[in-house]
Amino acid sequence: MSLGLTEIALILIVVLILFGGKRIPELAKALGKAQYEYKKAKELLQNEARELKDSVQNAAAEEEKKASKKDEEK
């Protein structure tokens, strides 16, 4: 589902009527900041998830090594 030229023009006209010409740059700036913050938070969460996954995998590998050493000692 994509927007055609007519739909985009209609949306722009409605935005212009609702907010006026002076407020549109302010809204665009706020939207840009929000998009930047969202991207930054998303990257932070991805990094934390990656670190958690790595630590869990490392812990599982250590447990496996301990279990195999115990089996060898028996």
Side chain identity at residue 13, one-letter code: I
User: What is the rounded CA–CA span in Å between residue 74 and residue 68?
Assistant: 10
Give the three-state DSSP class for 39: helix
User: What is the rounded CA–CA span in Å between residue 47 and residue 54?
Assistant: 11
User: What is the rounded CA–CA span in Å between residue 26 and residue 57?
Assistant: 47
Q: What digits encode the pLDDT tens for the residues 24-45?
A: 888 889 999 999 999 999 999 9
Q: Which two tokens stand for residue 8?
A: 């985009």
pLDDT 10s per residue in the chain (74 long)? 688 999 989 998 998 898 888 888 888 899 999 999 999 999 999 999 999 999 999 999 999 888 887 777 76
- Domain spans, the chain: 23-74
Q: Which two tokens stand for residue 68?
A: 């195999």
